[in-house]
Every structure is written in C-alpha cells, then in structure tokens.
Amino acid sequence: MAGLHIKNAFVIDPLSGVKGEIMDISIRDGKIVEDAPPGAEIIDAAGCLTLPGGIDSHSHVCGTKVNFGRYMSPEDMRAGRTARKGVMHVTSGYSVPTTFGNSYRYSTMGYTTILEGAMAPLEARHTHEEFTATPHQDMLANTLFDGNWSIMEAVKEKDDKRAAAVVAWTLSAVKGFAIKLTNPGGTEAWGWGEDMSSIHDQVPNFGVTPAEIISTMIRANELLHLPHSVHLHCNNLGVPGNYRTTLETIDLVPDLNKDRQSLYLTHAQFHSYGGTTWRDICSKSEEIARAVNNKPQVVMDMGQILFGRTTTMTADGPMEFKLYMLHHNKWSNHDVELETGSGIIPVYYGRKSLVNCVMWSIGLELALLTKNPWQCLLSTDSPNGAPFVKYPEIIALLMSRKFRDSERKMIDPRTEHLVPLFALDREMDWYEIAVMTRAAQAKALGITRIGKGQLSPGAEADVAIYPLRPDEIDPSADYQQVMAGFSRTLFTIKRGRVVARDGVVVVEGANSTIWTKANVPPAYDMGADPEFTRKFEQYYTVRMSNYPVQDVYLPRGVRIETEASL
C-alpha cells in the first residue's frame, strides 16, 4: 500500500491535544505515521475540517430485534431505497435500514466505528452475521446481562468474583465487548407477569434488587479490567418522575477506575423526566446534569429525540408495552430464555405533542448543561430517538442558539414553561463537537488502546474530511451549512483507504469486530464449573457445547485481552 498524504487539513484531534491547526496527516499500512511514504496519494483538504473517524458508542443496527424491526414495518423499508451503484448494494429502510444501508449512511457521515447497544448472548450468531454485512465500520457488541439467572444468583450470594467469572465466560463465548444492563431485573420480572418501579424492589424468584445487580456488576467489571465500564439503561425508562431513579442510580457509582468512568448511562434523556403523569411531565435535566457534573466517574449519552417517524427497540420489554398502551400501534415482546428480553414498537414524535416537545428539549439541555463535554456524548439511541442520519441536525442545534430559537416557534408553545432550554445561551464549538462524537466516545469505550478516536502517529488511520471551513463559518448563524456539511464528507478514510467520496461509497469494505476476553484463573473457568454446567443443561434449550460463537463468524476479529484480578 503506497499510503496517503492529507495536506492543508484543519485538524481537531482532542485526544492528541490538537484544537484546530492547519497541518498534514500521513498514512501508511493503515496507520497514522510521521512521514508519508514515497508515491503516496495526495489529498488536499484545502483548510476543511478534518477529524478522526466518527464513533457511535450506542446504536442499534444489527441483531435479532433489529431484524424484527425491519419486517415489522414494511412501510419503513419502502423508504430510503437506493439502487445498486458501483460497489454499493441495493438498500432500503429509513429508521431501520438494511445492514448495507446502515454502513453506507454512516460512511458518508464520516463514521468508522459503531457499538451495537444490546446483544442477547443466546442470539449472538445473528448479530455477528449482520456485523459482517456492515462492511465499512468496525463493530462492537454490548452483551446483555440484565436478567441473567447465573448473575442474579451470584448477586444474591454477594459473590462478586463468581459474577465476574460468569461475565468472562459469556463474553468470550459470544465474542461480546462489554456488559450491558437494560432495566436490570425489570425485564426478568416482566417475564413472570410482574413489574418494578424502584431500584430497591426485589426481582421475583431471585430475591435481589436492581441496585444490587448494578453495584455487583460494576465491581465485577473492574475485577475483569474490561476496557469499557458497565453500560446501563436505567430502570423506569420513559416514566414521568423517573429522574429520582436516575439520581439514586448515580449515587450508587463508586470511583474504581483512574482511566475511565465506572458507569456509562445510556440515552439519559429518557431518564430525566419530572412530574407524576404525562399531563404534568417536565424537564429535570438540571438535576441530572448537576449530578453528572459532580460525579466524574459517570459518563452519559444524550438519547436525543427528533421529530418524525422512527422505530423503538430495546431489551426493556415492559417499557415497550407501556409505550404500546399509549400509542396502540404495532407491538412485539420477546423473551430470551435465562438472559433478557426485548420489545419493538414504531412511533411518531410530533411537534404538536407537548410530551414529545419536552423530550426533545431535555436531550439538548443535558448536553448544554454538562460542563465537561467528555461526560455527555452525542447520540439518539438510534433508532429509538431518531435514526442516526439525524446527527448533523443535533450538532447544528448544539452549536446555534438561533437554530434552537427558530425551532421554538414550531413546537407546542407550552413547552417553554416546562423546560430550561430556551434560557440557555451556550453554543458549542467545533472542538466540543469533536469531543462528543469522537474522542470522548473512544475514551469511554476504552478503545483508545487500539488506536481509535485520534490522529497521532501509531493510531488507526480513520479520518473524516468535511466540506466545512471553520475559519469562514459562524456555526451560530450558518447552522444550515453546518447541518449540510456534517451530513456528507468530502472523504471518509477507513484504515488508510478512501471508502467514501462526496457521499458515494467507492470501495468494498472489510471491517473488524472488536471483542474482549478476560483471562481468569482455572478455579473461575465457568466452562468447567459443574454447577454452572448443570444449570445450563437443565434450563437452556441449547447444549452448552453449541452455545459459543465460532471464530468463523468473525473473519476479522480483534480481541482485547485482560487479566482478571480473581
């Protein structure tokens, strides 16, 4: 490979301490290097904004629930259709596109790494098959443990080490990346026909509480030295007054890791509601942001909603049923044996709905009220809040009060009495957007160790060049130009290859799947544990020998190994 030499780039690279400099970037053998190799292809960035490849630390793009969302809404699949063009496959879908559709759209926006937010271990093969058909992004899979019977038994016995051992065996078996807890204990209770309204309620048949599950899993995660922290979807999502549950959860978090957070709170917008019913719902973003500002060991992502039609999907089955009771739309619930569950329902977020307008405001407020942009990451929990193709709109809203004020005129006028958004003067700059979409996401996921999210020598050569000249654009006034610019790169470079140019994917992709393996002492190898094996064979519908995902499902697997302290 001759390599690439990008010259005259306006570079923002927060992890390398670059806050906006005209400089050159040299690439050889898929890595950033000091000097360009002889014969390198030259790209003249002409002063355009150049960032590390985008990283999405929470999205839903692959797996069984995503696939069910596709065929549940044929009207959605008729949208977003594109014909075959060059190396690009036929695509379809708007809120839940086909895998190639996801990949191409992320590429044209400059994104090169995606974390799938929730993978049921039992259904991991399907997720990995779809990873291989998402060719232009490196993929990671959060692995669900929220209703895992072996975990809850270890929690009841107050055995952090056994909980860690179960996690280690499962992540290795299914080639997962990190621990995901979705409404911990709640979906399991739902499977028995019950519900939970507090993190101190007991899970039926197990005698443990969500608070105990969360605390145990945080400690187990650190015993395994996993790259990412526990990734938590809090209890009581989408319920008026749920901010109290979120604050109680934040109070649980210890400071156990000097390099990253101890807990990642996902789609925080959905967990920041005041009031007692949908009639008096209001924003409690100030309380949540204040708690996060005072707790550096917590990171959250926005979970921003945007107006329009989308599809919601989550392992939080009871929440989806509550949403169904509100919308009376198509609805699906699904149970995954001894592990977790899921729910799916299409929704429409309307500007005439006061509740939806409050939700829209809260996501933006969380980002604007969080003092440190490294603690609040840009996301929509795609497609739950909105499809990821809406990220440029969020960026423009964060950078321009004028844009927010123009939107104010188009939403329910009662909104401004229930939210603080329109009193906030803050307008984010290019550097803060780079943090929220690249550097902070790489740091929170713990993948800076493999060269993600940065442009320093030795880093992976993932680069996005946007048709935006920061020295000529005022984002506050030129928000339409900001939106258009972040929607389509001039060049998206993945591992040293130009994969997209001017909105068109130009090469076949070859992504990697990143997963973790925590090495544990023989005494904690659950694959050889008689009790674990007996319960597996007794309760699961598959044999233990058929459960692990074979290496053939990861043709370009990247394994991050750690040594457990057990």
**Mean pLDDT score across all residues of the chain:** 95
Per-residue pLDDT band at 120 (split at 50, 70, 90):
very high
Partners of 413 in beta bridges: none
What's the angle, vertex CA 110, arms to CA 171 and CA 489, rounded to 5?
A: 170
End-to-end CA gap in the chain: 44
Read off the tokens for 438.
């690249």
Percent of the chain with pLDDT over 70: 100
Reply yes or no on domain 54-307+353-449 having CATH 3.20.20.140.
yes
pLDDT in tens, 31-40: 999 998 899 9
pLDDT at residue 195, rounded to an integer: 85
Total residues found in the chain within this entry: 566
DSSP 8-state secondary structure symbol assigned to residue 89: P
Contact by Cβ (8 Å): 116, 56: no
Query: What CATH number has the domain spanning 4-52+453-505?
Result: 2.30.40.10
Residue-level pLDDT at 321: 85
CA dihedral defined by 80, 83, 89, 91, rounded to 10 degrees? 20
Kindly list the distances between the CA atom of residue 91 and the CA atoms of 96, 156, 341, in Å, as whole numbers in the listed order.
Answer: 11, 47, 28
* The pLDDT of residue 304 is above 80: yes
Q: Residue ranges of the alpha helices (H) in 302-353?
A: 317-327
Q: Which residues contact 414 (CB under 8 A, 6 or more apart)?
A: 354
282-283 vs 298-301, strand pairing mode: unpaired
Contacts of 91 (CB under 8 A, 6+ apart): 80, 81, 82, 97, 98, 100, 101, 104
Determine contact, residues 286/247, Cβ cutoff 8 Å: no
Q: Is 492 helix (H, G, I), strand (E, B) or coil?
A: strand
Is the per-residue pLDDT at 1 higher than 70? Answer: no
- pLDDT tens per residue across span 521-563: 999 999 999 999 999 999 999 999 999 999 999 999 999 999 9
pLDDT digits (tens, 9 = 90+) for 336-373: 898 898 889 999 999 999 999 999 999 999 999 999 99
Q: How confident is the model at residue 497 (pLDDT cuts 50, 70, 90)?
A: very high
* Over residues 445-459, mean pLDDT: 97
Q: Which residues pair with 50 in a beta bridge?
A: 11, 465
How far is residue 381's CA from residue 387's CA, in Å, rounded to a whole number? Answer: 8
Q: What pLDDT sits at residue 318? A: 87
- The reported pTM is 0.96
Helices (H), 349-451: 354-369, 391-399, 401-408, 430-434, 440-445
Taking residues 310-316, report their average pLDDT: 91
* pLDDT of the residue at 328: 81
Q: How would you classify residue 8: left for phi > 0, otherwise alpha for psi between -120 and 50, otherwise beta?
A: left
What is the SS3 assignment for 524-557? HCHHHCHHHHHHHHHHCCCCHHHCCCCHHHCCCE
Looking at residue 449, what is its pLDDT? 95
Residue 531 phi/psi, 5-degree rounding, is -70, -40
Token pair recorded at residue 27: 């690439």
**Strand 49-52, strand 4-13: pairing:** parallel
Q: What is the mean pLDDT of residues 78-89?
A: 88
Least confident residue range of 110-124, 288-302, 322-336: 322-336
- Kind of pairing, strands 376-377 and 340-349? unpaired
Average pLDDT over residues 170-195: 94
Confidence at 131, pLDDT banded by 50, 70, 90: very high
Regarding beta strands 263-265 and 298-301, do their DSSP bridges make them parallel or antiparallel, or are they unpaired?
parallel
CB atoms within 10 A of CB 47: 15
Find residue 7's DSSP bridge partners: 44
**Domains 4-52+453-505 and 54-307+353-449 agree in fold:** no
Q: Where are the domains of the chain?
A: 4-52+453-505, 54-307+353-449
E strands along 14-73, which residues? 18-28, 31-33, 41-44, 49-52, 54-59
**Amino acid found at 269:** Q
Confidence at residue 495, expressed as pLDDT on a 0 to 100 scale:
95
Arithmetic mean of pLDDT, 458-469: 98
